[in-house]
Amino acid sequence: MEMNDMVLISVDDHISEPPDLFRNHLSGAALESAPRLIQDENGKDLWVYQGQKFPSVGLNAVVGRPFEEYGMEPTSLDQLRAGCYDVHERIKDMDVNGIAASLNFGSVFDFAGGRLHRVPDRDLAKVHVSAYNDWHIDEWCGAYPGRFIPCAILPTWDMDATIAELKRVSAKGCHTVSISENPTCQGLPSIHNAYWDPFYKAINDLDMTICLHIGGGNPAPHASMETPIEAWISTMPMSIAYAASDWLQLEALHQYPDMRIALSEGSIGWVPYFTERADFSNWRHKAWTNSRFQEMKPSEMFRRHFLNCFIDDAFGLQNIQFIGEDNIAYECDYPHSDTLWPEVPEHLWPSIRHLTEAQIDKITHRNAMRWFRFDPFQHQSRAELTVGALRQRAKAAGVDTSARSSAGERPVAEGDTRPVTSGDIMKMFIRHEDTDRTGRMQQQEA
């Protein structure tokens, strides 16, 4: 196998939704009351919904910018690469990057629908979350069958509505949902509470996959407002370990042996020590903790239920025997700052080429197909979806990948050479992000 022979499925990318996303899926009062995209006096795009403003429409969607312009900008659609919000342009950007298929998380309601938990009329929110799912499944994913893995969000504040929505989107061909890795951050009972039992049963009955995306609940910790931002960025993927440890102790995993959980944007290099530590802790403490792990080891349960997703992790790929070649999938993270677009194959190939062809196929696409119940080859042949074939298609379409500068707010003043800190970025959140999320992030400093 050569680099151009790979078939790449990315199990974590993002959308900055267009202003007309509800137009074809609602009418009358429901459409009038849906989230609206407006522009403030400073030219920043804001989603306005039930008296709240969500100003992070394009936050960190910096794909295609020069590195020196990275940061928490941009804040308006006109500062973004069109592939962030236009599905036809997204396909072109996927082609030029050699990406055969992609799972996309939304932005307007956040990765797991957390913003909907903070609105005053949650009955109305149930209408709008269903409309959002219709747009995502029918309009975004449906525009190019076989190129997108649909992923729904849920009204988890109402379990009856959640079960109904699970059944509804499953019937539409969506087999994946994104929820908060820590629902207590949304004012809900913990994942260990009986409140969630109907959800686990429905997920199992419908053969669906749960995505837990970093930042969907637990905030990534940072030491202080004076800490250089690189320290915070370095540890963000590993923040998923808190969720992994909590979900690994879930009683439902023992009840439903086929339950599937993807740790989105969490990377893989930390997994060997995590599972080793979980086994050690169980061995030393199960005699007094009433642990559910008396015969099966935690590491065995982890391999049975969890998919680990990485962007760039050469160390992890050198140690897949300690992670599980069936438990690893690739992700691109387009259009966020970690994305290696448009050079994903060039970065991935040197770190994966030492594996067998069967292992490469698993990590690049076969595991994604199995874990997300998705088959792109029903729509196009493997030969049409290789890196080489897609890039030839992009070349014929004349896709421009040159860096595009876009003036915007910087985290520190021009000429200031000190390291950008967590505090600098928090100030930008205060100016651009919804106040509830900012408050939760500031609690880390308390």
What digits encode the pLDDT tens for the residues 373-401?
999 999 999 999 999 999 999 999 999 99
Say if residue 222's pLDDT is above 90. no
Q: Which of 402, 442, 426, 365 is nearest to 93 (CA)?
A: 402
Say if residue 207's pLDDT is above 90. yes
Collapsing DSSP states into helix, strand and coil, what is residue 411?
coil
What's the CATH number where 46 sits?
A: 3.20.20.140
Say if residue 235's pLDDT is above 90. no
pTM for this predicted structure:
0.94
For the ranges 6-15, 226-235, 403-412, 422-431, the one whose mean pLDDT is highest: 6-15
Quickly tell me which residue has 């837990």 as its tokens. Answer: 212
Domain total in the chain: 1
pLDDT at residue number 44: 84
Asked if residue 405 lies in contact with residue 69, where contact means CB atoms within 8 angstroms, the answer is: yes
User: What's the pLDDT tens digit per position in 122-135?
Assistant: 999 999 999 999 99
**Rounded Cα gap, residues 432 and 45, in angstroms:** 10
pLDDT band at 429 (very low <50, low <70, confident <90, very high): low
User: Stretch 22-49: mean pLDDT, rounded?
Assistant: 93
Q: Which residues contact 114 (CB under 8 A, 6 or more apart)?
A: 180, 185, 186, 216, 217, 437
User: What's the pLDDT tens digit per position in 138-150?
Assistant: 999 999 999 999 9
In which order are the strands placed within the sheet that holds 99-105?
A: 8-14, 99-105, 148-149
Say if residue 438's pLDDT is above 70. no
Tell me which residue range forms the domain holding 425. 3-445
Where are the strands (E) in 265-335, listed by range? 306-310, 328-330
Please tell me the least confidently modeled range out of 94-98, 243-247, 424-428.
424-428
For the ranges 159-163, 211-215, 435-439, the one whose mean pLDDT is highest: 159-163
User: What's the pLDDT tens digit per position in 311-328?
Assistant: 999 999 999 999 999 999
pLDDT band at 443 (very low <50, low <70, confident <90, very high): very low
Tokens of 263: 């740790």
User: What's the pLDDT tens digit per position in 147-169?
Assistant: 999 999 999 999 999 999 999 99
pLDDT band at 303 (very low <50, low <70, confident <90, very high): very high
Say if residue 263's pLDDT is above 70. yes
pLDDT at residue number 437: 46
For the ranges 17-21, 217-221, 416-420, the one whose mean pLDDT is highest: 17-21
pLDDT at residue number 220: 77
Tell me the backbone φ, ψ of residue 293, rounded to 5 degrees.
-95, 90
Q: Which of 379, 395, 378 is nearest to 387 (CA)?
A: 395
Please tell me the least confidently modeled range out of 36-45, 345-354, 383-392.
36-45
Mean per-residue pLDDT of the chain: 92
pLDDT at residue number 212: 97
Say if residue 446's pLDDT is above 60. no
pLDDT at residue number 412: 76
pLDDT at residue number 408: 65
Please tell me the least confidently modeled range out of 107-111, 267-271, 416-420, 421-425.
421-425
Say if residue 331's pLDDT is above 80. yes
* Sign of the dihedral through C-alpha 101, 76, 17, 214: positive
**Rounded Cα gap, residues 379 and 147, in angstroms:** 9
**Rounded Cα gap, residues 173 and 169, in angstroms:** 7
pLDDT at residue number 368: 98
pLDDT band at 442 (very low <50, low <70, confident <90, very high): very low
pLDDT band at 174 (very low <50, low <70, confident <90, very high): very high
